[in-house]
A and B are shown apart, each in its own frame.
Chain A
Amino acid sequence: MFSLRDKKLARDIVIEIKKLDVNLKFMHVCGTHQDTLIKHGLDVLLKECGIEIGQGPGCPVCVTTQREIEEMLILAQKGKTVTTFGDMINVPGEKQSLQSIRTEGYDVRMVYGIDDAVSIAETNRDKEVVFMAIGFETTAPTTASVLLKNPPSNFSILCCHRTIPYALKALLDMGEIKIDGLIEPGHVSTIIGTRPYEFISEDYYIPQVVAGFEPIDILMAVWMLVKQIKNEKAYIQNEYIRVVKDEGNVKAQMAINEVFKPGDIKWRGFPVIPQSGLVLRKKFEKYDARKKFAMDLDVLKKREFKDPKGCRCGELLRGISSPHECPLFGKICKPEKPVGPCMVSIEGSCNIEYRYSEKNKK
Chain B
Amino acid sequence: MCLAIPGKIIEIDNEKEIAIIDYGDGTKRKANVNLVDVKLGDYVLVHAGFAIEKLNEKEAQETLDLFREMLSAGGYN
Which A residues are closer than 8 A to B by beta carbons? Answer: 1-2, 4, 6, 9, 12-13, 16, 30-32, 59-61, 85, 87, 112-116, 134-136, 138-139, 141-142, 145, 185-188, 190-191, 216, 220, 223-224, 227-228, 231, 233, 237, 241-244, 249, 251-252, 255, 345, 347
The one of A31, A61, A138 that contacts B52, using a Cβ cutoff of 8 Å: A138
Taking CB atoms, residues of chain B closer than 8 Å to A244 are: 53
A237 touches B76 (CB 8 A): yes
B1 touches A134 (CB 8 A): yes
CB-defined interface of B40-75 with A at 8 Å, one 1/0 digit per residue?
000101011110110111011011101110110011
- A2-B55, A190-B4 are known contacts. Are A114 and B49 too (CB-CB below 8 A)? yes
Kindly state whether residue B24 has any CB partner on chain A within 8 Å.
yes
Taking CB atoms, residues of chain A closer than 8 Å to B70 are: 220
Q: How far is the CA of A224 from the CA of B71 in the complex (A)?
A: 10
B67 touches A220 (CB 8 A): yes
A1 touches B2 (CB 8 A): no
Q: How far is the CA of A139 from the CA of B36 in the complex (A)?
A: 14
6 inter-chain pairs at a CB distance below 8 angstroms, sorted by A residue, are A2-B55, A6-B64, A30-B2, A136-B1, A138-B52, A231-B77
Kindly state whether residue B37 has any CB partner on chain A within 8 Å.
yes
Task: Write the nearest CB–CB distance from B9 to chain A, whole angstroms.
Answer: 13
Taking CB atoms, residues of chain B closer than 8 Å to A116 are: 49
Taking CB atoms, residues of chain B closer than 8 Å to A190 are: 4, 45, 52-53
Closest to A248 in B: B53
B6 touches A12 (CB 8 A): no
The one of A16, A220, A255 that contacts B35, using a Cβ cutoff of 8 Å: A255
A61 touches B67 (CB 8 A): no
A187 touches B2 (CB 8 A): yes
The one of B6, B48, B56, B74 that contacts A112, using a Cβ cutoff of 8 Å: B48
Taking CB atoms, residues of chain B closer than 8 Å to A136 are: 1-2
Q: How far is the CA of A255 from the CA of B4 in the complex (A)?
A: 19
Q: How far is the CA of A4 from the CA of B66 in the complex (A)?
A: 12
- A115-B49, A145-B32, A227-B77 are known contacts. Are A139 and B68 too (CB-CB below 8 A)? no
A142 touches B2 (CB 8 A): no
A138 touches B35 (CB 8 A): no
A135 touches B63 (CB 8 A): no
Closest to A139 in B: B48
Closest to B66 in A: A241
Closest to B75 in A: A227
Task: Write the nearest CB–CB distance from A70 to chain B, whole angstroms.
Answer: 21
Q: How far is the CA of A244 from the CA of B54 in the complex (A)?
A: 10
Q: How far is the CA of A134 from the CA of B21 in the complex (A)?
A: 24
The one of A30, A87, A113 that contacts B48, using a Cβ cutoff of 8 Å: A113
Closest to B67 in A: A220
B2 touches A112 (CB 8 A): no
Task: Write the nearest CB–CB distance from A237 to chain B, whole angstroms.
Answer: 7
Taking CB atoms, residues of chain A closer than 8 Å to B68 are: 9, 12
Q: Which of B24, B37, B52 has the most CB of A within 10 A?
A: B52
